[in-house]
């Protein structure tokens, strides 16, 4: 009888969790992707990168150009993102393939924000705030064709995972879809060290990341020849400094540098940032409020909650360095989840004061 009672209680606890509201957030996000996809298919591709770089590059590769080597097949994106477009183009579904990665990425971001907020506050209903705010941010920054949603989702899910090897693999995948996510990798290492203070766990995470990166670059050699491997490494990581300081890209018929960084084009950077910040003003204020109540010590958190909050804070700070490069709207996808989490902490602080 006690066993049956225990099972009944566990079922009740599961039902009490706000699964339905979270799933509605996912559904709303996916529907927004579908509507955006419909407009793009009927009206043509409006995204500059997709229409001017990625789709022509994929077609050139399918026509025989060597990825990362031929001027008509050069792009500063990692191999896994290029494979998505090339594979999609092979089936005449490049737009669908890109939007599918965005939709999946946004779902992972929302789910990751919900899970991490639950881990911090230990109140699933409070964590609905994290899911909703994250969704609202993504409606503004993450519904177009871009390569930041999926890696952002993979990166935040690596923090959710409790297995070091799996966390490393997820983060390695994130880096191979958008190399800028490597900025937040120290936060994962910090989390793994805090969990167990075990060198073995740390090495498992590093091994997971490195294995994905190595396999990704080796696959370029398998598909396009050995000479394409150093070229793929250069365009994925080596060209980053040129992007920051404004050196024009060599040997590329597709990629051109745009003076939009805080160093290379501060006026354009400020203008772009103002355009993004204005519609995100309320989420930014809520996030700032959450950061304040956390740093000021107004929150009562468990030891696990405090440790998770530290990881999220470090993760956000490191990824925010990407704004040195540019202030494009889709860069905010990388911190949309942490902003949602911070907003939930703001609400959590208010709830704790009222209790």
pLDDT in tens, the chain (355 residues): 434 444 445 444 444 556 566 666 666 666 665 555 555 443 444 477 888 889 999 999 999 999 999 989 998 899 999 999 999 999 998 988 998 898 889 889 999 999 999 999 988 888 889 998 998 898 888 777 889 999 999 999 999 998 999 999 999 999 999 999 999 999 999 999 888 777 888 999 999 999 999 999 999 999 999 999 999 999 999 877 666 665 555 555 555 555 667 776 788 788 888 888 898 999 999 999 999 999 998 999 999 999 999 999 999 999 999 988 878 888 999 999 999 999 999 999 999 888 7
> CA-CA distance, 215 to 208, in Å (whole number)?
11
The count of residues in the chain is 355
- Alpha-carbon dihedral 45, 48, 51, 53, rounded to 10 degrees: -160
Q: Give this prediction's pTM.
A: 0.88
Range of the domain at 276: 2-354
- Per the CB < 8 A criterion, the answer to whether 212 and 78 are in contact is no
How many folded domains does the chain comprise? 1
The closest of 163, 160, 152, 168 to 214, measured between CA atoms, is 168
Q: Which helix (H) or strand (E) holds 209?
A: helix 199-224
Nearest to 156 by CA among 145, 140, 138, 144: 138
Token pair 């902490």: residue? 345
User: To which residue do tokens 């400094």 refer?
Assistant: 241
């Amino acid at each position: 009888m006690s066993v049956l009672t225990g099972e009944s209680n566990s079922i009740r606890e599961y039902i009490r969790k706000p699964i339905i509201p979270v799933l509605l957030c996912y559904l709303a996000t996916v529907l927004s992707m579908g509507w955006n996809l419909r407009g793009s298919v009927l009206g043509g591709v409006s995204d500059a990168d997709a229409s001017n770089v990625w789709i022509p590059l994929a077609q050139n590769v399918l026509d025989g150009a060597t990825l990362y080597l031929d001027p008509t097949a050069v792009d500063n994106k990692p191999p896994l993102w290029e494979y998505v477009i090339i594979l999609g183009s092979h089936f005449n579904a490049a737009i669908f393939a890109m939007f599918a990665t965005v939709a999946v990425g946004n779902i992972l971001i929302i789910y990751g924000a919900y899970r991490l907020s639950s881990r911090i506050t230990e109140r699933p209903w409070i964590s609905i705030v994290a899911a909703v705010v994250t969704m609202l941010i993504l409606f503004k920054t993450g519904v177009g064709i871009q390569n930041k949603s999926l890696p952002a989702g993979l990166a935040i899910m690596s923090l959710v995972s409790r297995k070091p090897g799996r966390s490393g693999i997820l983060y390695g995948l994130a880096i191979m879809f958008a190399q800028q996510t490597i900025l937040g990798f120290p936060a994962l290492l910090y989390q793994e060290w805090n969990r167990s203070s075990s060198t073995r766990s740390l090495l498992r995470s590093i091994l997971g990341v490195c294995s994905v990166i190595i396999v990704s670059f080796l696959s370029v050699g398998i598909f396009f020849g050995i000479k394409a491997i150093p070229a793929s490494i250069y365009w994925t990581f080596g060209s980053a400094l040129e992007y920051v300081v404004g050196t024009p890209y060599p040997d590329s018929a597709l990629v051109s540098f745009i003076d939009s960084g805080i160093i290379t084009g501060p006026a354009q950077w400020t203008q772009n940032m103002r355009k993004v910040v204005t519609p995100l003003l309320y989420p930014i204020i809520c996030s700032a409020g959450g950061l304040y109540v956390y740093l000021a010590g107004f929150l009562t958190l468990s030891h696990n909650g405090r440790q998770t909050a530290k990881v999220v804070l470090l993760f956000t700070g490191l990824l925010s360095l990407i704004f040195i490069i540019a202030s494009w709207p889709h860069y905010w996808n990388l911190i949309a989840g942490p902003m949602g989490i911070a907003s939930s902490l703001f609400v959590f602080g208010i709830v704790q004061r009222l209790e």
